[in-house]
Amino acid sequence: MAPRWLAGVVFMALAAFPLLAADYWTGQLTRYLIFGLFAMSLSLVWGRAGILCFGQAMFFGIGGYVMAACTMGLVGGALTSSYLGLAAAVLAAAGFAALLGYFLFLGRGLSGAYLAIVTLAIAYILEQTLKSAYTLGADNGLSGVPPIDLGLFGASVELWQETPRYYLVLAIVAAVYAALDRLLASPFGVVLTAMHGDPRRLAFFGYHVLSLRLIVFVIGAAVAGLAGALFVAVDEFASPTLIGFGLSTEVLIWVALGGKEMLLAAFLGAIAVRLMESTFAELLGDFWILALGLVFMVSVVLLPRGLIATPLGRLTSGRHRDGT
Amino acid sequence: MAEIAIILLNMASYVLVLVLVALGLVVVFGMMRVINMAHGELFMLGAYTVVWLQAAGAPFWLAVAAAPVVVGAVGLVIEAALIRHIYRRPLDTILATWGLSIALKQAVVLIWGPASHSVAAPMAAAIGVGDVTYPVYRLLLMAVAVAIIAAVFWIFLRTDFGLVARAVIARPDTAAALGIDTRRIYRASFVIGTALAGLAGALVAPLISVDPQMGLGYLIPAFISIMVGGAGPLAGVLVGGGLVGGTNNLATVWLSPVVAQIVVFLLAIVIIRLRPQGLLGGRDGA
């Protein structure tokens, strides 16, 4: 786990960013922060609890669509508050994860490769369903999602400028990071690590592995749902690509490249890959994706702990742990 | 009557292609626990081999015959450069082959462009029995597919190589202790698996649009077929492919293709959840 001072340095640097950069980049980084939040959710579920979810974008997409539907007034004309939208998005993603997790993990349950393929198939199903859901805009998605409105009781404080929006998102992301970091440092986090190591032995100690898996899956989904909700409010657009196969595998690459066992590394992995994408995509054109695929392949083989987590781990712990 | 015959023929040809793709996948997965997410792209490379050779003036059947050789050679390189480093980390094979699949897809985009290509069927004729007419090429495709599937079963169930390979699947360490070169068997199986994907891609190339995204449409159904049928016994692929492909194709008679696929996936997920070892799997399948 990354030490607190390191996380402090990272978030301070992110807070200083808008002072130095143009508005355009502040806007871009707002989105990357949200992707970083999303990456944290997968890092928790996959890296810390050993649940390889190949369809994590389903929770991001559910969060996004629920937020869009609420704030655009598709559910009820009066219930367009951003607070309500965010809460509904998080609850919807968490609720879906609870049902799905119960179905997937109960009894002998699915794990490993089987779980990966089944979650991938479910993300694919959801994407296809949304593409033909005409009330939700089908292929075109929902455009014109209103920005986050912090106003209460009729007052309106819409965040549509880049800088205040950036700081709001940064504050939320930092708060979620701090909460997850505390959670993982708590006895619950220790039990999670034990479950990742050997679930059967943990069960012999009297822990209920199903509930542990469910809890962490639901927390991960809630975080992903929050990220999705923030994303549509910032991007003002919700489309079926948010829920499906493409984003699910993209987040997997960010997390794996950054380092799945370390929340901070997964978070930075998402930001780094997106930043490089926007820089190199112009320079390298179509070769960028080819390069990303190859780098990903090499990193899985040679540095399975991740390209960011490995040096960070050496930097902070001093002693060098085995790579497998 | 004529309509029913055509529906059944279409179903059979889809099922046979799916079984061919899944067979390559299961040889690799059942044997080495390697989840090859790039299998769909190897299928795609088979189809592009035909596009490439036909553009160079080669006749269709020569191109089809060359496809498994070309793709098998690619498979050999992949095994040597990537897969052999991660045999002992099965979950990492998902990620590494996913990276490979992205790279292969993009390489094809760079060479042939993102647009779809069409491959001319070698024969446009249709055969008629009574009031049913059906394209000859589809009938030939089915015959070739059946022959290849039978050949793969023969290799794994009747030859010395198959016996050794099955010994390696059942007890890798014991097999190695008995002097079997397990690495060589793994390599041979991986190449067989990739060559099958290439051949399947080449055979269906005239029937579908050949584009860089074509692999995914077969990868997920193929995986689901394996899981429904059971990854242990080879025959699980026949059951799984038959059920998944057959139901999917039959459902399109009443439902739109998208809805049919969604329904089939959902049913398959329920079966996989209830019987993780697959319908034919006796022992621990996962």
Smallest Cα distance from A160 to chain B, Å: 36
Range with the lowest mean pLDDT among A103-117, B4-18, B172-186, B202-216? A103-117
Domain assignment present for B236? no
pLDDT in tens, A182-236: 999 999 988 888 888 888 888 888 888 888 889 999 999 999 999 999 999 888 8
Interface test with B, best of A120, A297, A303 (most B CBs within 10 A): A297
Do residues A124 and B265 touch, judged by C-beta distance below 8 A? Answer: yes
Residue A240 binned pLDDT confidence (cut-offs 50, 70, 90): confident
User: Residue B41 has what pLDDT?
Assistant: 94
Instruction: Report the domain count for chain A.
Output: 1
A174–B contact, CB cutoff 8 A: no
Instruction: Identify the closest residue of chain B to A299 by CA–CA distance.
Output: B96
Do residues B23 and B196 touch, judged by C-beta distance below 8 A? Answer: yes
Domain assignment present for B284? no
CA distance A183 to B202: 52
User: Residue B10 has what pLDDT?
Assistant: 86
Domain assignment present for B285? no
Does residue B208 register a pLDDT over 60? yes
User: Residue B50 has what pLDDT?
Assistant: 93
In chain B, positions 238-267, which contact chain A (CB-CB < 8 Å)? Answer: 256, 258-259, 261-262, 265-266
Domain assignment present for A4? no
Smallest Cα distance from B82 to chain A, Å: 8
Range with the lowest mean pLDDT among A89-98, B192-201, B216-225? B216-225
CA distance A317 to A307: 16
User: Residue B103 has what pLDDT?
Assistant: 92
Do residues B27 and B196 touch, judged by C-beta distance below 8 A? Answer: yes
CB pairs under 8 A between A and B: 110
B109–A contact, CB cutoff 8 A: yes
B102–A contact, CB cutoff 8 A: yes
For residue A111, is it left (φ>0), alpha (ψ between -120 and 50) or beta? beta
Cβ <8 Å between B261 and A104: no
Does residue B2 register a pLDDT over 80? no
Instruction: Identify the closest residue of chain A to B221 by CA–CA distance.
Output: A121
Does residue A154 register a pLDDT over 70? no
Domain assignment present for B150? yes
Cβ <8 Å between A125 and B92: no
In chain A, what residues touch B105 (CB-CB under 8 Å)?
A: 293
Smallest Cα distance from A281 to chain B, Å: 13
Q: Distances from the Cα of A199 to the Cαs of A43, A213, A217, A285, B248, in angstroms?
A: 18, 10, 15, 45, 37
User: Residue A222 has what pLDDT?
Assistant: 96
User: Residue A95 has what pLDDT?
Assistant: 95
Domain of residue B177, residue span: 2-211
Cβ <8 Å between B272 and A110: yes
A131–B contact, CB cutoff 8 A: yes
What mean pLDDT is predicted for residues B249-262?
Answer: 85
Smallest Cα distance from B14 to chain A, Å: 20
Residue B128 binned pLDDT confidence (cut-offs 50, 70, 90): confident
Residue A317 binned pLDDT confidence (cut-offs 50, 70, 90): low
Domain assignment present for A48? yes
Smallest Cα distance from A110 to chain B, Å: 7
Interface test with A, best of B28, B82, B95 (most A CBs within 10 A): B95
Domain assignment present for B119? yes
In chain A, positions 249-278, which contact chain B (CB-CB < 8 Å)? Answer: 249, 252-253, 256
CA distance A227 to A173: 9
Domain assignment present for B241? no
Residue A318 binned pLDDT confidence (cut-offs 50, 70, 90): low
Domain assignment present for B90? yes
Domain assignment present for A9? no
Pairing of strands B126-129, B132-135: antiparallel
Cβ <8 Å between A287 and B110: yes
In chain A, what residues touch B78 (CB-CB under 8 Å)?
A: none
pLDDT in tens, A264-311: 999 999 999 998 888 887 777 778 888 888 988 888 888 888 888 888
Domain assignment present for A1? no
Instruction: Report the domain count for chain B.
Output: 1
Interface test with B, best of A110, A247, A300 (most B CBs within 10 A): A300
Domain assignment present for B270? no
What mean pLDDT is predicted for residues B114-139?
Answer: 80
**Mean pLDDT: which of A151-155, B33-37, B44-48, B60-64 is highest?**
B44-48
Does residue A320 register a pLDDT over 50? no
Centre a 10 Å sphere on the Cβ of residue A66 and count the other Cβ atoms it contains: 27
Q: Is B117 helix (H, G, I), strand (E, B) or coil?
A: strand
B283–A contact, CB cutoff 8 A: no
A102–B contact, CB cutoff 8 A: no
User: Residue B38 has what pLDDT?
Assistant: 92
Interface test with A, best of B26, B28, B83, B91 (most A CBs within 10 A): B91
In chain B, what residues touch A120 (CB-CB under 8 Å)?
A: 220
Looking up residue A298, the CATH number of its domain turns out to be: 1.10.3470
Does residue A145 register a pLDDT over 90? no
Query: Mean pLDDT of all residues in chain A?
Result: 85
B213, amino acid identity: Q
Does residue A18 register a pLDDT over 80? yes
Domain assignment present for A66? yes
In chain B, what residues touch A292 (CB-CB under 8 Å)?
A: 102
pLDDT in tens, B39-98: 999 999 999 999 999 888 888 889 999 999 999 999 999 999 988 888 888 888 888 999
CA distance B66 to B195: 10
Domain assignment present for A80? yes
Smallest Cα distance from B184 to chain A, Å: 21
User: Residue B91 has what pLDDT?
Assistant: 82
Residue A323 binned pLDDT confidence (cut-offs 50, 70, 90): very low
Smallest Cα distance from A275 to chain B, Å: 19
User: Residue A198 has what pLDDT?
Assistant: 83
Domain of residue A290, residue span: 21-317
Does residue B112 register a pLDDT over 60? yes
Q: What is the 3-state secondary structure (H, E, C) of chain A?
A: CCCHHHHHHHHHHHHHHHHHCCHHHHHHHHHHHHHHHHHHHHHHHHHHCCCCCCCCHHHHHHHHHHHHHHHCCCCCCCCCCHHHHHHHHHHHHHHHHHHHHHHHHCCCCCCHHHHHHHHHHHHHHHHHHHHCCHHHCHHHCEECCCCCECCCCCCCCECCCHHHHHHHHHHHHHHHHHHHHHHHHCHHHHHHHHHHHCHHHHHHCCCCHHHHHHHHHHHHHHHHHHHHHHHHHHHCEECHHHCCHHHHHHHHHHHHHHCCCCHHHHHHHHHHHHHHHHHHHHHHCCHHHHHHHHHHHHHHHHCCCCCCHHHHHHHHHCCCCCCC
What mean pLDDT is predicted for residues A13-35?
Answer: 87
B223–A contact, CB cutoff 8 A: yes
In chain A, positions 288-317, which contact chain B (CB-CB < 8 Å)? Answer: 289-290, 292-297, 300-301, 304
User: Residue B149 has what pLDDT?
Assistant: 92
